[in-house]
Structure 1
Amino acid sequence: MSSSLPRIVVVGCGQWGRNHVRTLHGIGALAGVADRSPERAAALAAEFGVPALSPDAAIEGDAADALVLALPAQAHGPAARSAIAAGKDVLVEKPVALDAADARLTAEAARAAGRILMVGHVLRHHPIFRALQAEVEAGAVGTVRHVVSNRMGLGRFLGMDAVWDLAPHDVSLILAIAGRSPERVGAARRTVLSDETDEADIDFNFSGGLTAAIRVSRVSPYRDRRFSVVGNEGMITFDDLAPAGAKLALYRHRVRREGAHFAFAEAQPSFLPEPAGLPLEAELRHFIDCVATRRPPLTGAEEAVETVRILQLASPLRG
């Protein structure tokens, strides 16, 4: 690994942890891997030529300057707080906790210790979402009136319901566009083919009349990964499943009042340039920069707490 980069150990060698390991190795910042299964940690460590550690050794020892925690959600808070107490910066995979009180404890621990706490809302770092956000902020659709995010498909029955598993991404994206917290959150949750929530509709009301909606499903017969922003002068959509060249589309649709009625003018989409890059690599490079410069992360402690608060409001069964 490069001597100019912080030493980062990944704790948790499941599917997403392996993605972090592979990406950090490519960047040159991987200092080790840890897992509660010594055999799994050893196999991954051998593959990438780094030490295998126990989670306790990674968190409390001196092999790392910073950690990536890719653990079951209920373990994130205690592990993050232990790492912070040991003087380490942490990137915690989403969700950072399963209730807002636990998320606040972690955020407060990071603030008190002066450590970096970043939550892994990887789609905030997607180059095409960043391009969409820049277009919106530049006024491409006028005043933003509504945001809608769909994340639908079949699968991911991982012992966590669809709201907590899928919606954190969409909550983070909506908060980025809104630039503020919602005044009201409501949800309709449905158990369809499992014992947990399989799909849900989440609605938001923000100050100034802005609204937003999320639909997540793991029992949809088709896949849908679209994020759209509707303004008074147009609409823009990021369709992650569209072919290259058609993922970011600006529609100059207009709706206008004509007396007591409304009329609309439909326009063909203008497909905008699609910046290249891998979201996870961008996220990890941002974390590395925050560790080196002590700048607050794009998805830091405040967003970590707010996202969990919103998910909890959308999940009455979790109290």
Structure 2
Amino acid sequence: MTPRIAVLGCGYWGSNHIRTLKALGALHAVSDANRARAEGFASEQDCLAIEPDDLFARSDVDAIIIALPPQYHADTAIRAVESGKDVLVEKPIALTVADAERSVRAAEKHGRVFMTGHVLRFHPAFEKMKELIDKGELGDVKYIHSHRLGLGKFHTENDALWDLAPHDLSMILAITGTAPIEVRGEGAALLDHLSDFAHLHMRFPNGLRSHLFTSRLNPYRERRLTVVGTKAMAVFDDVEPWERKLAVYRHAVWQDSGQWAFTANEPAYVHVKQGMPLTRELEHFLHCIATRAAPRTSGEEAISVLRILTAGSVIHD
């Protein structure tokens, strides 16, 4: 039987969950502190509108997607799992590592699925990139850099690092398979006390290095993850059309008579089957609920992401 899912939080990203779940036949209810907003979605999507405080005791709700301002995520997730609900918590799952650990441990104690909304892990282009890396097509991975730039959105609680970096950190951790042993961050706050630009530099146990650049005050959009290996380099560029989202560059670099030489080859674009990452993420959540399998984007991964964000919390210039 298809799990009956409620979405708590009918804001921008919560509304995407609502519409996608409806298409999957799993939307049972919506809930929001703004009753009129919830009732509007309930009418539009032909589902129930339930008051937030009444949601947790409902026997007709199997799982809750929590898409609230992040300062409310931990306590809400704990209340949900203690009420016997499986949860998908949007990123970041908390604003402190301690709160994240509390919520994940509560889910473990009560035997509930705890999944994190790191949606780009379910992007077909990233999945294909990860497959190429695992097959050794790039050789040994030596460097990863990620740029996530654009104009907005602006939040009162999250700076550019905490708002934009979790997706990229999730992908980087999936590639490295381990947490960094060194993290350095720097940033600049131009509008108020929260950083609008942030750089994060990481070093991993095997010598692999990575950097991440985020900005919400950039004149153009950039959504690019680059992986540099000893055999080839791969670029996942989510701004490009589907036929150009994943490119592999088989450049060659060698020494000749003590001097470095190289050949720069044109990119080979890898075919990627089209699919909406959010749809694939929610299909995975439904699968985990039905089978009790561990989610690909687990609570433990979210804790690792929060540890990096905390260690790299920027000093404002």
The answer for the alignment partner of 1:218 in structure 2 is 216
Contact 1:90 1:118 in 2 (8 A): yes
Residues 163-201 of structure 1: CA distance to partner in whole angstroms, max 9, x if unpaired?
111000111010011111111111111112343100111
Contact 2:186 2:314 in 1 (8 A): no
Q: Does 1:255 align with 2:253?
A: yes
* Separation (CA, whole Å) in 2 of partners of 1:85 and 1:106: 10
The answer for the alignment partner of 1:111 in structure 2 is 108
The answer for the alignment partner of 2:164 in structure 1 is 166
Q: Does 1:73 align with 2:70?
A: yes
Q: Does 1:59 align with 2:32?
A: no
Q: 1:84 to 1:273 in 2, by over 3 A?
A: same
What's the CA shift for 1:223?
1.4
Stretches of structure 2 lacking an aligned partner (at least 5 in a row): none
* Separation (CA, whole Å) in 1 of partners of 2:66 and 2:268: 40
1:121 aligned to which of 118, 123, 130: 118
Contact 1:232 1:255 in 2 (8 A): no
User: What residue identity is the alignment partner of 2:218?
Assistant: S
What's the CA shift for 1:274?
1.5
The answer for the alignment partner of 1:145 in structure 2 is 142
Q: Does 1:16 align with 2:13?
A: yes
SS in 1 for 2:243: coil
Q: Which range moved further: 191-200 or 101-110? A: 191-200
The answer for the alignment partner of 1:286 in structure 2 is 284
SS in 1 for 2:206: helix
2:154 aligned to which of 157, 181, 184: 157
Q: TM-score, normalised by structure 1?
A: 0.96
Contact 1:122 1:279 in 2 (8 A): yes
Residues 222-270 of structure 1: CA distance to partner in whole angstroms, max 9, x if unpaired?
2111111000111000111113311110000122234544322211100
The answer for the alignment partner of 1:28 in structure 2 is 25
Residues 141-169 of structure 1: CA distance to partner in whole angstroms, max 9, x if unpaired?
10000011100011111222101110001
What's the CA shift for 1:10?
0.3
* Separation (CA, whole Å) in 2 of partners of 1:199 and 1:275: 33
* Separation (CA, whole Å) in 2 of partners of 1:307 and 1:54: 31
Q: 1:14 to 1:32 in 2, by over 3 A?
A: same
1:133 aligned to which of 106, 130, 144: 130
SS in 2 for 1:60: coil
User: What residue identity is the alignment partner of 1:115?
Assistant: R
- CA RMSD in angstroms, aligned pairs only: 1.3
1:296 aligned to which of 290, 294, 302: 294
Residues 268-299 of structure 1: CA distance to partner in whole angstroms, max 9, x if unpaired?
10011021110000000000000000000000
* Separation (CA, whole Å) in 2 of partners of 1:188 and 1:6: 43
Residues 80-116 of structure 1: CA distance to partner in whole angstroms, max 9, x if unpaired?
0000000110000000000101101111111111110
2:274 aligned to which of 273, 276, 280: 276
Q: Does 1:198 align with 2:196?
A: yes
The share of aligned pairs that are identical, in percent, is 44
Q: Does 1:186 align with 2:188?
A: no
* Separation (CA, whole Å) in 2 of partners of 1:259 and 1:64: 70
SS in 2 for 1:287: helix
Contact 2:186 2:315 in 1 (8 A): no
Contact 2:186 2:313 in 1 (8 A): no
Q: TM-score, normalised by structure 2?
A: 0.97
Q: Which range moved further: 260-269 or 116-125? A: 260-269
Contact 2:189 2:196 in 1 (8 A): yes
* Separation (CA, whole Å) in 2 of partners of 1:278 and 1:187: 32
